[in-house]
């Protein structure tokens, strides 16, 4: 790709791991700047990296730093994003060329993290929850760019399902139309971020990291376009009651509508409002599901690394 080195900045540790065929797991940075307050955001980010290492893989936190697509952000860069918080641009596909040209910072969403991970040669990405079709999208057309990226970019996304602030049924329909496989890790039901329940079924249940890696390897070998979504339910002890969280979400959505909040501001507002409504319990659930996803993604990355070397 023309002039890629001009834009892509891969840390020595990540570059060496990729060159040697070692397992690497990409991590997003929107959760640092927009997901929770400082210093909890930095603490969580560093814990996620620690969990990835404990499970045999190399973490690669991805962000845009000073106009560079950074793969493997340093502790200092993570602290910088954590302190800057909401003043950091929430960067999706459309934002990357602008941030690069202007030499600015950006916290990468699922879509942007997938793009940069693919450019660096990273196949596995762990996050909290993916974006999707928003409630009321039949009139607002508010559909996350994450879904389009899953249809185009060959990166596996390990998440706790789609955020339960979304229209989960329409999100699954959209992914089906785009040909994106949606797998449930040891479950047939789509997890809904804070809760293990949703009332919707995934395409296939998978029961081991090896099985997930084998499916993705087959997809890559066949050169089928796009990525894959692996949905991993939040651990039982941290899961929130289905009815309670749904009521909290409906209350938060109603307030957002009253305030006229739209576009990329919607998700950060709703997550913060739900945190307030649930007196902080949703934030703890958010942190724990991210840890759980990081562990699973690392195990899958290890299995994929073995398959690629056969």
What pLDDT is attached to residue 249?
77
Evaluate the CA torsion angle 117, 129, 28, 238 in order and state its sign: negative
What CATH number should be reported for the domain whose range is 4-308?
Answer: 3.40.1790.10
Q: What is the pTM of this model?
A: 0.92
The per-residue pLDDT for 70 is: 98
Buried b (16+ CB within 10 A) or exposed e, 172-209: bebbeeeebbbbbbebebbbbbbbbbbebebbeebeeb
What integer is the mean pLDDT of 14-40? 95
CA-CA distance, 129 to 194, in Å (whole number)?
9
pLDDT in tens, 182-199: 999 999 999 998 899 888
Of 165, 134, 192, 191, whose CA–CA distance to 250 is shortest? 165
CA angle 74, 232, 159 (to 5 degrees): 40
Closest CA to 122 of 30, 44, 214, 227: 227
How does pLDDT run across 271-295, given as a tens digit for each residue? 778 778 877 777 888 899 999 999 9
Active site residues: 28, 163
């Amino acid at each position: 790709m023309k002039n890629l080195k001009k834009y892509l900045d891969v840390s020595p540790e990540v570059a060496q791991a990729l060159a040697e065929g070692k397992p690497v797991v990409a991590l997003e940075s929107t959760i640092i700047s927009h997901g929770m307050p400082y210093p909890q955001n930095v603490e969580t980010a560093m814990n996620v990296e620690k969990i990835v290492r404990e499970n045999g893989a190399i973490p690669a936190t991805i962000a845009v730093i000073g106009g560079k697509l950074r793969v493997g952000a340093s502790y200092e860069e993570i602290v910088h994003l954590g302190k800057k918080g909401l003043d950091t641009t929430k960067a999706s596909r459309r934002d990357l060329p602008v941030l690069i040209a202007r030499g600015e910072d950006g916290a990468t969403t699922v879509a942007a993290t997938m793009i940069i991970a693919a450019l660096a040669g990273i196949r596995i990405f762990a996050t909290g929850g993916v974006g999707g079709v928003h409630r009321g999208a039949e009139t607002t057309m508010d559909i996350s760019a994450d879904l389009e990226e899953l249809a185009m970019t060959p990166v596996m996304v390990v998440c706790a399902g789609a955020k339960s602030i979304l229209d989960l049924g329409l999100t699954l329909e959209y992914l089906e139309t785009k040909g994106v496989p949606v797998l449930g890790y040891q479950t047939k039901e789509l997890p809904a971020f804070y809760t293990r329940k949703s009332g919707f079924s995934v395409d296939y249940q998978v029961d081991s990291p090896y099985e997930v890696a084998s499916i993705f390897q087959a997809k890559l070998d066949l050169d089928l376009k796009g990525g894959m979504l692996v949905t991993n339910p939040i651990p039982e002890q941290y899961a929130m009651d289905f009815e309670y969280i749904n009521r909290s979400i409906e209350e938060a959505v109603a307030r957002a509508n009253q305030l006229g909040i739209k576009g990329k501001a919607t998700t950060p507002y709703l997550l913060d409002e739900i945190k307030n409504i649930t007196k902080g319990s949703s934030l703890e659930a958010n942190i724990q599901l991210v840890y759980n996803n990081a562990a699973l993604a690392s195990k899958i990355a290890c299995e994929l690394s073995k398959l690629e070397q056969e």
